[in-house]
């Protein structure tokens, strides 16, 4: 018997699409994947070498549940240097990816019936994580140009509001929220006695003039009600290594550690040692990758914005385009009718052999997400295929 809790949970549409792409490729079909949210670069060699060295040195045993002290100290140095936030090592926990830190955070911070405000579009797992914690997701759309709408957030706050969740740079829109809007959210959290969880996994992938700002850096009063979540996955091309972290007030970290102690325990020991090398030796690798993504972003944006029926905001971060495609709804190619974003994504997969994620996965049913974390050669081919398929619609 499957529990009601699990039966009410929606599966991850992005992971399901990954499985479908693998199945089609196994059947011999040429599929260009613009659906996967991970860098196409290999993990930098110094990180791989550090992991190998750690294994040879016997660093393959259990560690403390929150992570080895040298890594937590390195994270603390990073947060102080780059994010202007002060944390002690016992205010940091290392987890099996940012996803696990986030899931545990909702369990720790929310009681059944509490409300969590989530600006949309949003990453696919946020809503289900909140529901699994027994809390209620309150979806608040951003402004039309993907700016954070602090006024809408304020109107959504009730006596049951427990957490405001912020993700900048944003998945799926690529928006980088301004300091002004983030300060307004921080003021709301203080005024209404609620917490902020800030997901900052794309912080190093920014291309415009709007800098990344960590909310916890604003003041001690804001710091004490903010949990900062980050990971090595995107910045260092370490998605499969499964390592992330959370930093916040000691009471919250202690609670997250208690859950982790009964589930995964520590994250993989030799990966933790490699993560120190990532933080301290791999800045040049990150910058080279960021520049490549910026070039791809510029190319993809120019191609996508010219497609009939597509309206694409210009993204300043992450590695996604998120165009509104409602202009294609009602069009057809032969007997096939584009009724909505999933229908368009299905059509482009079948007709063009390009995998995209429909926006309903991100609480934005009129959009689709294209990832430009692929080689320029593949991006050119993908856009040629997409353009040909879209031009067949009438």
Tens-digit pLDDT profile for residues 337-358 = 999 999 999 999 999 999 999 9
pLDDT band of residue 289 (cuts 50, 70, 90) is very high
Q: What CATH number is attached to the domain comprising 385?
A: 3.90.1150.10
Tens-digit pLDDT profile for residues 72-96 = 999 999 999 999 999 999 999 999 9
Among 38, 81, 366, 59, residue whose Cα is nearest residue 231: 38
270 and 299 assigned to the same domain: no
User: Count of domains in the chain?
Assistant: 2
Whether the predicted pLDDT of 126 surpasses 90: yes
259 and 289 assigned to the same domain: no
Helix segments in 27-169, DSSP class H: 45-56, 69-83, 98-109, 124-132, 150-156
Domain range enclosing 304:
4-42+284-391
Measured CA distances, 339 to 77, 331, 345, 383 (Å): 51, 8, 11, 22
Whether the predicted pLDDT of 11 surpasses 90: no
Find out whether 71 and 244 touch, Cβ atoms under 8 Å: no
pLDDT for 14: 80
pLDDT for 129: 97
pTM for the predicted model, two decimal places:
0.95
- Residue 370, classed as helix, strand or coil, is strand
pLDDT for 8: 84
296-297-299-305 Cα dihedral, nearest 10 degrees = 150
272 and 139 assigned to the same domain: yes
Q: Which of 261, 282, 303 is the last residue of a domain?
A: 282
Q: Which of 221, 249, 282 is the last residue of a domain?
A: 282
Q: Which of 246, 267, 282 is the last residue of a domain?
A: 282
pLDDT band of residue 15 (cuts 50, 70, 90) is confident
């Amino acid at each position: 018997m499957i529990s009601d809790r699990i039966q009410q949970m929606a599966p991850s549409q992005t992971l399901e699409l990954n499985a479908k792409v693998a199945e089609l490729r196994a059947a011999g079909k040429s599929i260009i994947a613009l659906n996967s949210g991970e860098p196409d670069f290999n993990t930098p060699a110094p990180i791989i070498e550090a992991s190998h060295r750690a294994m040879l040195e016997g660093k393959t045993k259990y560690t403390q549940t929150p992570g080895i002290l040298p890594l937590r100290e390195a994270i603390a140095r990073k947060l102080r240097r780059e994010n202007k936030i002060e944390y002690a090592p016992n205010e940091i926990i290392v987890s099996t990816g940012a996803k696990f830190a986030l899931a545990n955070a909702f369990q720790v911070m929310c009681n059944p019936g509490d409300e969590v405000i989530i600006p949309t579009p949003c990453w696919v797992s946020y809503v289900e994580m909140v529901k699994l914690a027994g809390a209620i997701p309150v979806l608040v759309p951003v402004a039309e140009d993907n700016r954070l709408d602090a006024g809408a957030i304020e109107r959504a706050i009730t006596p049951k509001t427990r957490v405001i969740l912020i993700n900048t740079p944003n998945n799926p829109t690529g928006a980088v929220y301004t300091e002004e809007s983030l300060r307004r959210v921080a003021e709301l959290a203080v005024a209404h006695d609620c917490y902020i969880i800030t997901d900052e996994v794309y912080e190093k992938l920014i291309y415009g003039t709007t800098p990344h700002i960590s909310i916890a850096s604003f003041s001690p009063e804001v710091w004490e009600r903010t949990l900062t979540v980050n990971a090595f996955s995107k910045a260092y091309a370490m998605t499969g290594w499964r390592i992330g972290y959370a930093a916040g007030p000691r009471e919250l970290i202690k609670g997250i550690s208690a859950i982790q102690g009964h589930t995964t325990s520590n994250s993989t020991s030799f990966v933790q040692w490699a993560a120190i090398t990532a933080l301290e030796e791999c800045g040049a690798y990150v910058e080279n990758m960021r520049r490549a993504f910026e070039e791809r972003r510029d190319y993809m944006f120019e191609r996508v914005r010219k497609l009939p029926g597509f309206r694409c905001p210009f993204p300043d971060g992450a590695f996604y385009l998120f165009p509104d495609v409602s202009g294609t709804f009602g069009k057809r190619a032969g007997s096939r009718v584009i009724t909505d974003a999933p229908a368009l994504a299905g059509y482009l997969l079948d007709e063009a052999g390009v995998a995209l994620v429909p926006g309903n996965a991100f609480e934005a049913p009129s959009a689709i997400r294209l990832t430009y974390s692929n080689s320029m050669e593949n991006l050119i081919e993908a856009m040629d295929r997409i353009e040909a398929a879209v031009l067949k619609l009438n």
